[in-house]
Chains A and B, each alone.
Chain A
């Protein structure tokens, strides 16, 4: 119990972990398949630049993609933290690991916000 009370953000992070897990599961496989495998191997022809730009500039795409990116990054950070924590028995360094993981996710989410909201 003493340990739990020291971690007031833990439930909130677990909630984001679940949300990010769902977002990552529903959206990422098909996008990675399209842009990482099918297009590069020539299975389908690349969409032209104008079409992709129009799709990305739609406010719904911007917000949806931003939400997916941010949540998936928090999900990944949270899971990776526990991978190091339990998988490699690095409990001693939890403070450092947690800072690096969530910090990385925050930087990624900020980059996503910049790219999707201001750089398109």
Chain B
């Protein structure tokens, strides 16, 4: 079944680098690019898991490797993007999710605030678990 003809009537041309024309567009694309760094973070953590599973020598090799300047630089950039993801995602949540408690709407700021508190608690717990 082909699309009805009216669907094809208007097709605006969009430049490939349309998002460089405005700051907010560029920020939007940077936020979207955080996906690459989220994926890299998962890969990096899995490499750590693999090294730990293979024994102390391999773990030490991972630690040495992780201190390479280029890798630290990559991870600092990744951290910035992962934080951009986290902050934009939490701030957007009240617009995507509506929570009702005892018949009353929870204001967006309270909802985002409680997610930030959860984030803090999860981070503290993980630091304790790792560094303990």
Contact = CB atoms under 8 A, between A and B. Distances in A.
Contacts of A36: 41, 44, 66, 71-72, 75-76, 78-79
B39 A77 contact: yes
B38 A26 contact: no
Interface string B56-82: 100110010011000110011011001
Contact of B119 (A26, A33, A72, A79): A26
A119 B90 CA distance: 34
B98 interface: no
A24 B38 contact: yes
A35 B29 CA distance: 27
Interface residues on A, range: 35 or more
Interface residues of B, number: 57
Interface string B39-58: 10111111011101101100
Interface of A: 2, 18, 21-22, 24-37, 39-41, 44, 46-47, 49, 51-53, 55-56, 65, 68-69, 72-73, 75-80, 82-83, 87-89, 104-105, 108, 111-112, 115-116, 119-120
Given A24-B89, A30-B126, 20 more contacts: A24-B86, A25-B85, A28-B41, A28-B82, A29-B82, A29-B83, A29-B86, A34-B131, A40-B63, A47-B132, A65-B45, A72-B41, A73-B39, A76-B36, A76-B39, A76-B42, A78-B35, A79-B38, A83-B33, A111-B46
